C-alpha cells in the first residue's frame, strides 16, 4: 500500500494520546516561556507556575497574547534563549510602528520545515515532485517556509519568488513543474499571461497541485483556480507568529484544513467574551505553539474567524480540521449598520462567469452617508463596452450582493487588468472613511 503519512505515528495518534502529548509539550513550553522577559512577568502577575498545568483545559488559566504584545516587546522581549542561538527572524508587514517579529533557533527551523513537508506530503506531493515557489521571499514566511519544507520533502525546488509571470511560465515549462505555491490572487493574473502567450496551463504544463493560502479566498475562487490550471488546489493556512506556512493544510481529500495539533494547541473563542464557543461554532482562532523553543507564543489571538470541524477526516489523520477562514475580525467593516466581510463580496462575484478574478471595494463617506463601491474586472472573453448590457449585469450583481450583505452597494464593471495590482497579498478594501 502506498505510504500515506509523512509521520504515521504522530499523524494517526489517537485523540486521547494526542491530548496527553499536548499536556507534556505544554509544560515544557511554559517552562521555556518563563525564561523570557515578557512571559516571566505575565506568569508572575497571575501567580502561575508551569508545573500547575495538568490538563489541556488549564490553558484557560493563562492570559491571551496579542499582536500588540508582540509589537510592544519587539524585538527580543519574548526570547527564551541566548541571541547566539537564534538562526533566523521573520516579521509581519507592519506599515506603522514595530512589526511583530519571530525568532527561530535551529530546532525551530527544522520543526517548521518538517511541518511544511508533512503538509505537502498530505496532499499527495512526493520527493519526485518539482516544486515552484511563486511566493515572495525575504521577511515574508511563504518564501523560505515553503522552500525548506519542499527541500525536506526531497522535491527539486524552483525558488522563483513572486511576480514576473513570463519567467514563471518559462520555468514551469522548462523544468516540468508539478506543484507550485502562490497567493490565490496572483493565479488569475498568471493564467491571463498564459493565454496572452497562446498557452493553456491545462495542456502546456505538468502541474498537478497548487498550494494556495496566505490570504482569505472563497471556495468559488478555489474552483476557478482548479478550472484555470486543470489541477487540484489545496488550502494552506499559516501566519508569521506561528512560524509561517504549515500550521494547517488540506489533505488529499481537500476537505478543509487539518491543524497540526501535536505542534499547535487550538482554541476557538468568542471574540467579545473570549470564552470558548461550543464545538463547531464560528469564533476567533487562538493558537499556542507547542514545539517552538526560541520564542513560544501562548494563546495567540489570531483574529481569524473559523470553526472546528469535529468529524474525523476520511484520511485517518487525527488532527482536527478548521473550516475555510471566514475573514479576520479586523477585516470586517461596518457600513449602513451592516457587518461585511470582503469574502462575502468575493463569493458572489466569483459565481458570475463574466467577472474576472480581481475586485476592489472602496468605502467613502459623503454628506448623505457612507457609500460602498464594488469595482470588478470583466473577464476578457466577456469584455464589452455596450453600456446597456453592462448596466444590466451591474444591476444583477448589485441585487445579489444585497441578498448577501443586506444593502445595495454601487457596482462598476471595469476593463480587464485595470484595477491596481500588488505583488504579495491582494488589497481588497480601500476604506477612505478612516482619518
Ligand atoms: P502573515 O503573517 O503575513 O503570513 O499573515 C497571516 C494571516 O494571513 C493569517 O492570520 C490570515 O488572516 C491570513 N491567511 C493565511 N493563510 C490563509 C488561508 N489559507 N485562508 C485565509 N486567510 C489566510
Ligand atoms: Zn484529512
pLDDT by residue (tens digit) across 65-109? 999 999 999 999 999 999 999 999 999 976 678 999 999 999 999
The helix (H) or strand (E) run that includes residue 170 is helix 165-175
Q: Are residues 122 and 142 in the same domain?
A: yes
Residue 328 Cβ inside 6 Å of ligand 1? The answer reads: yes
Confidence of residue 32 (pLDDT cuts 50, 70, 90): very high
Q: How far is the CA of 30 from the centre of ligand 2 (A)?
A: 30
Q: Report the CATH number at residue 74.
A: 3.40.50.12780
Confidence of residue 390 (pLDDT cuts 50, 70, 90): very high
- Rounded-to-integer distance, Cα 40 and Cα 374, Å: 48
Confidence at residue 386, expressed as pLDDT on a 0 to 100 scale: 86
Q: How far is the CA of 72 from the centre of ligand 1 (A)?
A: 22
Residue at which a domain ends, from 280, 305, 330? 330
Q: What is the DSSP letter of 140?
A: S
Q: Is the peptide bond before 328 cis (omega within 30 degrees of 0)?
A: no
Q: Are residues 39 and 92 in the same domain?
A: yes
Strands across the sheet containing 429-431: 410-414, 369-378, 355-366, 429-431
Q: Are residues 129 and 276 in the same domain?
A: yes
Q: What are phi and psi of 360, to 5 degrees?
A: -145, 135
Q: Which atom of ligand 1 is nearest to the CA of 324?
A: 20
Q: Which atom of ligand 1 is nearest to the CA of 93?
A: 3
Confidence at residue 95, expressed as pLDDT on a 0 to 100 scale: 64
Residue 27 Cβ inside 6 Å of ligand 1? The answer reads: no
Q: Are residues 176 and 40 in the same domain?
A: yes
Residue at which a domain ends, from 308, 330, 352? 330
Q: Report the CATH number at residue 381.
A: 3.30.300.30
Contact (Cβ atoms closer than 8 angstroms) between residue 118 and residue 7: yes
Residue 318 Cβ inside 6 Å of ligand 1? The answer reads: no
Contact (Cβ atoms closer than 8 angstroms) between residue 326 and residue 343: yes
Q: Angle at CA 268, nearest 5°, toward 317 and 18?
A: 35
Q: How far is the CA of 13 from the centre of ligand 2 (A)?
A: 14
Per-residue pLDDT tens over the stretch 318-348? 999 999 999 998 889 999 999 999 999 999 9
Cell 507568529, residue?
241
Residue at which a domain ends, from 281, 306, 330? 330
Q: How far is the CA of 316 from the centre of ligand 2 (A)?
A: 6
DSSP, collapsed to helix, strand or coil, labels residue 363 as strand
Q: Are residues 325 and 388 in the same domain?
A: no
Confidence of residue 245 (pLDDT cuts 50, 70, 90): very high
Q: Are residues 212 and 347 in the same domain?
A: no
Number of domains in the chain: 2
Residue having the nearest C-alpha atom to atom 8 of ligand 1? 214
Averaged pLDDT score across all residues of the chain = 96
Confidence at residue 435, expressed as pLDDT on a 0 to 100 scale: 60
Q: Is residue 1 over pLDDT 50?
A: no
Among the listed residues 208, 205, 202, 206, the one whose alpha carbon sits nearest the alpha carbon of residue 125? 208
Q: Is residue 381 over pLDDT 50?
A: yes
Per-residue pLDDT tens over the stretch 169-181? 999 999 999 999 9
Q: Which atom of ligand 1 is nearest to the CA of 328?
A: 12
Report how far Cα 164 is from the mean position of its chain's Cα atoms: 23
Q: Is residue 280 over pLDDT 70?
A: yes
Name every residue whose Cβ is closer than 8 Å to that of residue 366 and which is 6 or more positions away in sequence. none
Q: What is the DSSP letter of 239?
A: E
DSSP, collapsed to helix, strand or coil, labels residue 48 as coil
Ligand positioned closest to the Cα atom of 250 = 2
Q: Are residues 200 and 310 in the same domain?
A: yes
Cell 461550543, residue?
278
| Residue-range definition of the domain harbouring residue 111 | 1-330
Residue 430 Cβ inside 6 Å of ligand 1? The answer reads: no
Q: Are residues 326 and 339 in the same domain?
A: no
Confidence at residue 329, expressed as pLDDT on a 0 to 100 scale: 87
Q: Which atom of ligand 1 is nearest to the CA of 325?
A: 21
Name every residue whose Cβ is closer than 8 Å to that of residue 261 and which is 6 or more positions away in sequence. 18, 22, 318, 319, 320
Mean pLDDT for 391-414 is 96
Q: Are residues 117 and 233 in the same domain?
A: yes
Residue having the nearest C-alpha atom to atom 6 of ligand 1? 239
What percent of the chain has pLDDT above 90? 92
Residue 426 Cβ inside 6 Å of ligand 1? The answer reads: no
- Of 142-146, 267-271, 336-340, give the lowest mean pLDDT range: 336-340
Confidence at residue 387, expressed as pLDDT on a 0 to 100 scale: 86
Confidence at residue 349, expressed as pLDDT on a 0 to 100 scale: 97
Per-residue pLDDT tens over the stretch 286-323? 999 999 999 999 999 999 999 999 999 999 999 999 99
DSSP, collapsed to helix, strand or coil, labels residue 211 as strand
Amino acid at each position: 500500500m502506498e505510504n500515506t503519512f509523512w509521520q504515521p505515528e504522530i499523524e494517526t495518534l489517537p485523540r486521547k494520546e494526542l491530548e496527553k502529548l499536548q499536556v507534556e509539550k505544554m509544560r515544557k513550553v511554559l517552562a521555556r516561556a518563563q525564561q523570557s522577559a515578557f512571559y516571566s512577568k505575565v506568569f508572575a502577575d497571575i501567580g502561575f507556575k508551569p508545573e500547575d498545568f495538568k490538563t489541556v483545559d488549564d490553558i484557560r488559566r493563562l492570559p491571551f497574547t496579542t499582536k500588540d504584545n508582540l509589537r510592544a516587546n519587539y524585538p527580543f522581549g519574548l526570547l527564551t534563549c541566548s541571541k547566539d542561538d537564534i538562526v533566523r527572524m521573520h516579521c509581519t508587514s507592519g506599515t506603522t510602528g514595530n512589526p511583530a517579529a519571530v525568532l527561530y533557533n535551529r530546532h525551530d527551523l527544522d520543526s517548521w520545515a518538517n511541518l511544511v513537508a508533512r503538509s505537502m506530503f498530505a496532499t499527495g506531493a512526493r520527493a519526485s515532485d518539482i516544486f515552484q515557489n511563486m511566493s515572495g521571499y525575504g521577511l515574508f514566511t511563504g518564501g523560505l517556509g515553503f522552500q525548506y519544507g519542499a527541500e525536506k520533502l526531497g522535491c527539486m525546488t524552483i525558488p522563483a519568488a513572486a511576480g514576473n509571470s513570463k519567467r514563471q511560465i518559462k520555468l514551469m515549462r522548462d523544468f516540468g513543474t508539478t506543484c507550485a505555491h502562490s497567493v490565490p490572487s496572483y493565479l488569475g493574473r498568471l493564467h491571463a499571461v498564459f493565454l496572452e502567450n497562446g498557452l493553456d496551463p491545462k495542456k502546456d504544463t505538468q502541474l498537478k497541485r497548487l498550494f494556495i493560502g496566505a490570504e482569505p479566498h472563497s471556495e468559488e475562487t478555489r474552483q476557478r483556480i482548479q478550472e484555470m490550471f486543470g489541477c487540484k488546489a489545496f488550502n494552506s493556512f499559516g501566519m508569521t507568529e506561528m512560524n509561517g506556512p504549515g500550521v494547517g493544510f488540506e489533505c488529499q481529500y481537500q476537505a478543509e484544513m487539518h491543524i497540526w495539533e501535536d505542534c499547535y494547541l487550538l482554541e476557538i473563542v468568542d471574540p467579545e467574551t473570549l470564552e470558548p464557543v461550543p464545538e463547531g461554532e464560528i469564533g476567533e482562532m487562538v493558537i499556542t505553539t507547542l514545539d517552538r523553543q526560541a520564542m513560544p507564543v501562548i494563546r495567540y489571538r489570531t483574529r481569524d474567524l473559523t470553526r472546528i470541524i469535529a468529524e474525523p477526516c476520511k484520511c485517518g489523520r487525527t488532527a482536527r480540521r478548521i473550516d475555510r477562514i471566514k475573514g479576520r475580525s479586523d477585516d470586517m467593516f461596518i457600513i449602513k449598520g451592516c457587518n461585511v466581510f470582503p469574502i462575502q463580496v468575493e463569493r458572489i462575484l466569483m459565481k458570475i462567469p463574466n467577472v474576472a478574478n480581481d475586485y476592489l471595494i472602496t468605502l467613502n463617506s459623503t454628506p448623505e452617508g457612507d457609500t460602498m463601491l464594488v469595482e470588478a474586472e470583466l473577464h476578457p472573453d466577456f469584455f464589452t463596452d455596450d453600456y446597456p448590457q453592462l448596466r444590466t449585469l451591474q444591476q444583477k450583481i448589485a441585487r445579489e450582493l444585497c441578498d448577501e450583505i443586506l444593502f445595495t452597494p454601487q457596482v462598476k464593471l471595469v476593463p480587464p487588468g485595470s484595477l491596481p495590482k500588488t505583488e504579495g497579498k491582494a488589497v481588497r478594501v480601500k476604506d477612505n472613511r478612516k482619518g
